[in-house]
Structure 1
């Protein structure tokens, strides 16, 4: 039996969708694939030890380090375990990559005691981010909250009787790592780009921006509502990321893989805010319906060294999430038929408790892809269909349900 490709997935829609897409791509390449689903990196390593494998691909941030360790064990030319552990930790990865890309860095610190925060020279607004988690949700009450100052954060902890819990977790962190306090920038747009590092060279897979809005709970995180991609987006990232190809074989740990980077623009410059060693969920969903060959081409480059064609199916593309619709469990609402250049992805509203299932919140709402001739055309088409979805979704939810 040929050794399979291992797809390391968490028990979430986002992770499962990536794994399913890459499993289909592997089948198209006549490569056996096995999806491993687990809660923790330790469980993944135990499951992976049961049989030979040829390559491990992380479909969740939580499993980037296990994938690197498994690829080292299999003597694959992927990024090493030590480098991967540093990159996926915001406290270490953001400073490291900011230097390599010649970008300024936002003030940030990982406080272990109240005195660490009081001694931090930065005095402006900040956001509390888990160091090893992506997105805008955390299971802890302080995760992704914004505060006006370090003192304001300490006062909030005291008022909520959370001071002891917070600093105990900082000193003995769980799977999501300790919390990073980072300067907050008032901008609802983030710029994103993904880089493929393979033996055939370095290729910018995608470049775009994400549009975010606050959760319903004041001050507690944000969720993305649109990711839009076009050839002029994220210029700082698209220009600088290919430089990393020069590190392969020259700097310890650098090898083949996918690097997805997020940053935010302010009057004082462009700053990195997040790093993932996987393709983004938005891009995975978008290409899953707009160009199903993407995952196959990416896998062929990683496994066989084939050159990667970065061509897109349209000059501008977006994926939208439609929040604000009535919750009817897993029942599909009656939405308008997709117009020209609209590709439905998951057109249903699913019940869920975002306080418990927060990592899956994006998968619980309707979403669709828009193809456009340019950025303005894409936005116009997406805005029109989004408005139609809201009107039709509310109307169908108010209508009596038909008898089975």
Structure 2
């Protein structure tokens, strides 16, 4: 007789215990899963908060970038997200602006100009014929190697055009200001190359104006100040000291006519002691006052005549001595380039007149002493003896 197999049935009580164990394990698994979910959510929220903090701090320390021509470098931004400590620690000399012309973006920092002040443009060509002519006639502008070291911590940027003026600058920057070496182009063609500090031309620089005149020398806050050379549109040259855009101090001026002046200036005018030589050979050396021969000075003519004495506004005026080449000599008063008042005239033949003068001639009481000592006392009028005592 064959045997029959029966599936062993679990004991009812053991089955109930097994179900309770499974239920408990399921609940534990659900609780653990829920806790893990909450923990991950909390971590994500914390990371998001850190990210927001980074973005806020980053935006507060960096100027906004004009999306029209630049965008932040993504690799640097991504790296900054990894660590809060690395947020904005960009060493000045290691992460400078990218200057390649092919780049369409720049990583900006606080040295660069704000985008609402200046925008990146292409460096303009010099098309003004006057400026171009002068630029070609001059040697390249020489920067000073020692001076360059002063601006090692400045950044160099591509050309930027100031929105309000249309002026274009290309060179070094610091704290949003022009600082260091740079070139600047004005809309009218004026061109400057040299040093900058505090947003203005400072130090050595060369300015070529749109009319072809130019200045090369020292600058202070956008003004010609110090020592420099200026050439005007006619080719007249002044080389010497400057103050506030005016000739001031010691200098030499040369005109295309051949005239030259070397001496002191004040407020753009000849003032103080100086020497003027005319192209015809005339020469004056003495005192100047506000561009006039004024004070004491000596004037010489090419034929040997000499006046030594006082002057007022380019005229012999006051006490003076005049010597002629024929030996005549006058010592006395002058007014408006003529003998006026009292004076002594010594003739080359030995005669002497002592007395009054008017309009350059003997006038009034006087005495004529002949060469042998004989005296004629009388009254003169317009150079003629009209009465004798």
TM-score range, shorter chain: under 0.3
Structure (1 or 2) with the larger CA radius of gyration: 2
* Length-normalised TM-score, structure 1: 0.17
Higher relative CO (Cα under 8 Å, sequence separation at least 6) belongs to 1
